[in-house]
Chain A
Amino acid sequence: KNQVEQSPQSLIILEGKNCTLQCNYTVSPFSNLRWYKQDTGRGPVSLTIMTFSENTKSNGRYTATLDADTKQSSLHITASQLSDSASYICVVSAQYSGGGADGLTFGKGTHLIIQP
């Protein structure tokens, strides 16, 4: 069964500090991995997307890494800001075989709180 596990479930850090969120998956056959930021009461917004051949991708202060061998990904946030408070969702896509959804498996997310 395809699964995506994220840790920690929640995290509180002080403004200006760095943090790293983890994502482990068992999705097969793997196609790509995406990180989304979801503010409370809003839809998810894409941060990064990585395919099998990519092991790192940055988007401003967000840097995602991917180890396809160990099936792990991380999202590193540098110099956190109050606006980074949100849920961060890891989504892994299996190779599309046609019909229905595109084989997305969602993690439950990490709830990040930045304190001043």
Chain B
Amino acid sequence: GAVVSQHPSWVICKSGTSVKIECRSLDFQATTMFWYRQFPKQSLMLMATSNEGSKATYEQGVEKDKFLINHASLTLSTLTVTSAHPEDSSFYICSARPLGQGINYGYTFGSGTRLTVV
């Protein structure tokens, strides 16, 4: 089945530094990947849609200069949290849908990255 690998699974960084999170589709290609943020006991909130070879589409209220997304290949999307602050501490999750599959095909989620900014 479709597998999405997300790395790292957790990271602690100092305030003001940048952190990169990787999302890889291991056994399929994905032109589109999605980045979510989840606070404790809350639902997933879509941050942005990552499109291979083009600019990401950000949801309203998400700072594109703070959350840099790069989707350089059909199997890799990265999210960089720049100048991280403690309020950026959260659980970040990516998902992907195999190339050529319609919206009725199930999404595969990564295992998530727990970011703690100190």
Contact = CB atoms under 8 A, between A and B. Distances in A.
Contacts, number: 57
A44 B106 contact: no
Nearest to B91: A41
Nearest to A94: B103
Interface string A93-113: 101100111111011110100
A49 interface: yes
Contact of A102 (B93, B103, B109): B103
Specify which of A46, A51, A102 lies most central, judged by the most chain B CB atoms within 10 Å of its CB: A102
Nearest to B45: A106
A45 interface: yes
A49 B40 CA distance: 25
B41 A51 contact: no
Contacts of B107: 34, 46, 104
Interface of A: 31-32, 34, 36, 41-46, 49, 51, 89, 93, 95-96, 99-104, 106-109, 111
25 contacts: A31-B104, A32-B103, A34-B107, A36-B109, A41-B114, A42-B112, A43-B93, A43-B111, A43-B112, A44-B93, A46-B107, A46-B108, A49-B104, A49-B106, A89-B43, A96-B103, A100-B49, A101-B49, A101-B59, A102-B103, A103-B103, A104-B46, A104-B107, A108-B42, A109-B43
A-B pairs, 7 with minimum CB distance: A43-B109, A106-B43, A46-B106, A108-B43, A43-B112, A100-B57, A43-B111
